[in-house]
Structure 1
Amino acid sequence: MDPRPAAHSSSVPPSQQPPDPHLSGTDSQPGPSSLDPRVHFDKTTGKWHFEDDDGREYEWMEAKHAWVPLLEESLWAAQQAAYKVDGVDENTPAISNGTKDKKQLKLEKQNQRKNAQKKRALEGDPNSTGQQRNTAIYITRLPLDATTDELHECFSRAGLILVDEENQPKIKFYKDQTTGLFNGSALVVFLKPESVELAIQLFDDTALRLGASSSQERMQVSRAEFSHKKQPLPPTNSDQQQFQKRQKRAKKVEKLKTKLEEWDSDDEKASAAQTRFSKVVVLKHMFTLAELQEDPALLLDLKEDVREECELLGNVTNVTLYDLEPDGVMTVKFKEPIAAQACIVKMNNRFFAGRQVGAFLYDGNNRYRKSGHGSIENEEGTEAEQKKRLEAFAKFLEDQ
Structure 2
Amino acid sequence: MTLISEIQGKKPNELNKEQTVLVEFDKKNKEWFIEDPEEKQRYKYQEILERWIPEEEINKSEQNEVSRLIKRQKREKVAEMKREKNVQKKPRKNRSVYISGLSQNTTIEEVKEKFSRCGIIAQDLRSGEVKIKMYENKEGQFKGDCLVEYFKEESCGLAIEILDGSKLRPDDKEPMKVSQAVFKEEAEEEEEEEKEEVREDIRQDILEGCQEIGQVDDVIIYESEKEGIIRVRFKEKEGAKGCVKRMNGRYFGGKKLVAQLWDGEKYRIDDTTSK
Please tell me the TM-score bracket, short chain as reference: 0.3 to 0.5
* Richer in strand (by share): 2
User: TM-score if structure 1 supplies the norm length?
Assistant: 0.26
Task: Point out which structure has higher relative CO (alpha carbons under 8 A, 6+ apart).
Answer: 2
The structure whose Rg is larger is 1
